[in-house]
Structure 1
Amino acid sequence: MMTAAIIETIRSELSAALPRWGMSTCATLTFLSHSENTTFLAEDSSSGQRLVLRVQRIGYHSPEEIVSELSWIDALIAEKVIVTPRPLSDRDGLLLCDVPLNGSMRQVVAFEHMSGREPDPAASLSTWFLKLGTLTARLHEHSRSWKRTAAFQRKTWDFDAMLGARPLWGDWHAALGLRNADRQLLQRVADALAQRVHAYGQNSHRFGLVHADLRLANLMVDGERLGIIDFDDCGFSWFFYDFAAAVSFMEHEPVVADLQNAWLEGYRKIAPVSKADEAMLPAFVMLRRMLLTAWIASHSDTETARQLGTDYTEGTVAMGERFLRGL
């Protein structure tokens, strides 16, 4: 359980390690968020330097997986595919750093700080989803052409990893407040989703390295610029699953239809979208919703889980009913 006291202990101990990233002892460290990982903003008033430190969740990613994530980010920056924060090495040239925190050795990654804020959901999101569609297509084009090293390792986000035999974010059957009748309904949804994604297939033109978490919290708006952060969940999945991730936590809202249209318009500026691809988007949105329902149950120590709780489960059941009616 990540309590406020534990977060403060990690913050204090990590603050003492800031000089290894070239920051003075007067630099301040502020807690940003706790989700899969725990992140902090470091600010050095004497130099004006700002960076974000990501303390990795214990046991989630292997060192090889984290280094692979950072190698993709570096390639995207080098080839100017998108705007995203650069990973920063410490004074020993290490990108993945071992730091003793809260009684155990934790892995920490530093990133450049990116200016901006997430898109305002109360404002018109269609403009940003138009841009996001274009950026997503550019990511996918790069993913298809980039020559990964033999050592590259990232998780595979297929059906079994989401809702099946090896659920990486927990078992959806354990969703908060899920009643038996609703569990049976969602089982029918899961079975229908399994049939849809298996029929769609995992050929290389449909399945590859994706960001997998392009939700609003991971988008940074500054003027006309749309930056992308947090590749921590990147892995191998369906390319068009990236749209489903983009509408996370608002999947049930009527605005999603407009956002989908804008996203597709932006995507088609870079790459084609087949009828089969477009037809799968509602299935991927439902798949993502059930995955997030499982995540909330298995990450009850996060602020997101505490805020959404059983209400999110009830919304998933309602979405599942609509999804089945539409088959």
Structure 2
Amino acid sequence: MIASAAIARYGLPPSTTVELLNVSENETYRVHDPDVVLRVHRLDYHPPGAIPSELAWLDALRTEAGIRTPKVIPALDGSRVVRVPDPAGGPDRDCVMFEFLPGREPSEDDLVTDFEPLGALTARMHQHARSWVRPAEFVRFHWDADAAFGTAGRPGRWGSWRSAPGCGPAEHVVLDRLEATLRDRLTRFGTGPERYGLIHADLRLANLLVSDDAGVSVIDFDDCGFGWYLYDLGAALSFFEHLPEVPEVIDAWTRGYRSVAPLPAGDEAEIWTFVLLRRLLLTAWIGSHSEVEIAAALGAEYTSGTCALAEQYLSTHS
């Protein structure tokens, strides 16, 4: 097992307990005694230099902006990213070890209460991103429309929504209209520095930890990159965009955001564009990740829900 081979690079004995936490894109393990987290990266997702760049922003947010993020634990040779041969003979894998942070995932039962402080936290991250002088070798990908939907016959970063389960001819008609409308509105919205910059890009509830002692921690920056700042709100609503309380949740988020940074009315007017952008991306992700437990569980019902949300959106956004 790659995780067992990786911990040896950190001086941990073979008897150390290694427990698989989840498999989504990467494999994430909890290592016991010491209590740390090991991330085994997926293959062929990041260009050279991208993982060290992620870790650089994670460090800067903690030390410069006061955002609680996990510290990176270096290997015995000082490496923050270690390349580990696969004992089974597969390709080498990149691995990173992090401190284990306390806390629980926020509950969907109390979204309005949780989303006001999340809005403030997100604004602090965006303020830092706007002012941070990135290292010269900083490399991260973009979450623009072409990355989301693909271009010139190439699928988007997470595949094509056309391959989602339950996506037949009727669904194609609705979602084609949605993609075209999103592309048009995003083009008009623009990528000026006040609206587009370095974002976490996956601030869903699973990547937040709430602790009475430590407050809110932000984890899993693996998808961080350049995108629209409002995409972070769309991502925060992942998998429950359809709930009737979402408009109230959005209001709470915007109150929190404005307690820290401006949110112009023109930006606020496009919030649902970014909710639907994320929703369509997740629809594509489910279609290209059928082996992942949550994707298999959501299946065709999620595609149907995307079409329902698309119809609502298109009735007011053309």
TM-score by length of 2: 0.95
Matches within 5 A, 1:189-204: 189-204=178-193
- Of 294, 301, 324, which aligns to 2:284? 294
| Aligned pair partner of 1:60 in 45, 55, 74 | 45
Conserved in 2, the CA contact under 8 Å of 1:212 and 1:245? Answer: yes
Distance 1:22 1:78 in 2: 27
Q: Tell me by how many angstroms 1:150 deviates.
A: 2.2
Residues 278-300 of structure 1: CA distance to partner in whole angstroms, max 9, x if unpaired?
01100100111000000011111
- CA distance in 2 between counterparts of 1:272 and 1:142 reads 14
Alignment equivalent of 2:80, drawn from 80, 89, 95: 95
Kindly provide the amino acid, as one letter, of the partner of residue 95 in structure 1: R
The residue that corresponds to 1:109 in the other structure is 96
Distance 1:231 1:184 in 2: 34
2:8 to 19, 33, 36: 19
The AA in structure 2 aligned to 1:280 is E
Shift of 1:16: 4.3
Specify every segment of 5 or more residues in structure 2 that has no aligned partner in the other structure, as ranges. none
- Kept after mapping to 2: 8 A contact 1:128/1:226: no
The one-letter amino acid paired with 2:96 is V
SS in structure 1 opposite 2:49?
Answer: helix
CA distance in 2, matches of 1:27, 1:289: 40
| Distance in 2 separating the partners of 1:132 and 1:36 | 24
Give secondary structure in 1 for the equivalent of 2:217: strand
In the alignment, does 2:198 pair up with 1:212?
Answer: no
Residue from 192, 204, 210 that aligns with 1:221: 210
Give the CA RMSD over aligned residues. Answer: 1.2
Counterpart residue number, 1:249: 239
| 1:71 Cα offset (Å) | 0.6
Tell me the distance in 1 between the aligned counterparts of 2:55 and 2:5: 25
Question: 2:30 corresponds to which residue?
Answer: 41
**Mapping for residues 67-146 of structure 1, pairs under 5 Å:** 67-101=52-86, 102-103=88-89, 104-121=91-108, 123-146=109-132
Preserved contact between residue 70 and residue 87 of structure 1 (Cα < 8 Å): yes
Query: What residue is the counterpart of 2:316 in the other structure?
Result: 326
Question: Hey, what's the Cα distance between the residues in 2 that align with 1:230 and 1:131?
Answer: 19
Q: Check whether the contact 2:143–2:227 (CA below 8 A) recurs between aligned residues.
A: yes
The letter of the residue matching 2:3 is: L
Partner of residue 269, structure 1 = 259
Does the 8 Å contact 2:3/2:29 carry over to 1? no
Q: Distance in 1 between matches of 2:225 and 2:281?
A: 15
CA distance in 2, matches of 1:81, 1:306: 37
- Partners of 2:260 and 2:98 lie apart in 1 by 28
Normalised TM-score (structure 1)? 0.92
Which residue identity lines up with residue 113 of structure 1 in the other structure? Answer: F
The one-letter amino acid paired with 1:198 is: T
Q: Distance in 1 between matches of 2:157 and 2:23?
A: 18
CA contact (8 A) 2:150 2:157 kept: no
Q: What SS does the aligned partner of 2:59 have?
A: helix
Superposition deviation, residue 95 in structure 1:
0.7
* Aligned equivalents of 1:93, 1:32: Cα separation in 2: 25
Structure 1 unaligned blocks of 5 or more = 1-9
Amino acid at match of 1:143: A
Q: Deviations over 1:80-127 (max 9, x none)?
A: 431010111100110110112232211101111111110111x21222
